[in-house]
Amino acid sequence: MNNTIKFCVDEKNNGKRLDIFLSENINHLTRSFLKKLIENEQVKLNKRVLKLPSTKVKYKDQITINMIENQEQNIRPKKIKLNIVYEDNDILVINKPKGMVVHPGAGNYEDTLVNALLFMYKKKLSNINGPLRPGIVHRIDKETSGLLVIAKNNFAHSHLGDQFSKHSIERRYICLAWGVVRPLNGKISTLISRDKKNRQLMTVSEINGKKAITNYKTIKVFNIQDIPKISLLECELETGRTHQIRVHLKYKGTSLLGDKQYGKKNIKFKKINNDFFIKLNKLSGQALHAKTLGFAHPKTKKWMNFNSEVPESFKKILSLLENLSS
């Protein structure tokens, strides 16, 4: 079932850009969101599907917007316990556990965050990103833990999405990486695109791709006998590209502990601390946690800031490194 919005262009709006015309006539949706609707072929001009937000409208033009409503489409609601950090009528902030996929996709249709959200909130979620991603404004990798904001309605989703587009959202991650990143503090700015050899991975590109910017600082370098050098880093995202931190660390010549996609799959040690080796193998994925999330509330405009603790497996290996280095 679709929700349709229709307009007829009056004389005073003759010659305006389509996205500007719509943003001036639909107060609860931002211009960036309306652009996305046009690019997703959900807007028709005189029964003709459009793709360009810059299209000029004319007097008496008929505009139809097709808002796809939230349908489960074979996505089954499932009772899964969620760690809810904050909730009100518009948004939900969740601390996602390591190992949980955010939304259904190839091979993952039952134990995702979306399955849990549908069980708890049914249709009280935004539908801007389609039936497979109700409420989902952004995402983090399956094996990355940490904070996510969920939109309960399209108004909230539109305004949060606008903040992500303008890069005004605060997103800080904490991670453990092999070796020492030089310089100790800095900014990594590259283009990121799909890896031509492996389409499941991303890579830094010199020619094409999307701009990706990661600011990082070294909190501590652990230099311990019988353990390779390890750096505790804080990374702040200016952009949010797929696998961005992992790709940028590989670009700098290192990788995260436990990252078998962008690091070495089977690291061989000549000599290794046994306690460390055991905890390293219990990481089950990269040592990366989305610890801080900050944004302006879509309705009140008040700045909100949330922090979360690293998961137990990350905490144990970090505590061991701290104890051995003291």
Same domain, residue pair 157 and 281 = no
Q: From CA 292, how far away is CA 286, in angstroms rounded?
A: 18
Q: From CA 40, how far away is CA 49, in angstroms rounded?
A: 10
Same domain, residue pair 180 and 260 = yes
Same domain, residue pair 11 and 108 = no
In a 3-state reduction of DSSP, which class is residue 84? strand
CATH code where residue 133 lies = 3.30.2350.10
Active site amino acids: 141
Enumerate helices (H) and strands (E) in the chain, giving the number of each: 7, 14
Q: Which tokens is 140 given?
A: 């983090």
Task: Give the model's pLDDT for residue 155.
Answer: 95
Same domain, residue pair 101 and 42 = no
The per-residue pLDDT for range 231-249, each reduced to its tens digit, is: 999 999 999 999 999 999 9
CATH code where residue 32 lies = 3.10.290.10
The per-residue pLDDT for range 270-302, each reduced to its tens digit, is: 889 999 999 998 988 999 999 999 999 999 999
**Residue 45 belongs to domain spanning:** 2-68
CB-CB contact of 104 with 114 (8 Å): yes
Task: Give the model's pLDDT for residue 35.
Answer: 84
Domain for residue 75, yes or no? no
CB-CB contact of 154 with 128 (8 Å): yes
Query: Which residue in this structure is represented by tokens 């937000």?
Result: 53
Task: Give the model's pLDDT for residue 196.
Answer: 85
| pLDDT for residue 81 is more than 90 | yes
Residue 17 β-bridge partners: 56
Mean pLDDT, the chain, integer: 90
Domain for residue 215, yes or no? yes
The per-residue pLDDT for range 299-318, each reduced to its tens digit, is: 999 999 999 999 999 999 99
Q: How many domains does the chain have?
A: 3
Q: From CA 48, how far away is CA 153, in angstroms rounded?
A: 28
The reported pTM is 0.79
Residues 6+ apart with CB under 8 A from 95: 83, 85, 145, 146, 147, 308
Domain for residue 76, yes or no? no
Q: Percent of the chain having pLDDT more than 70? A: 94
Domain for residue 61, yes or no? yes
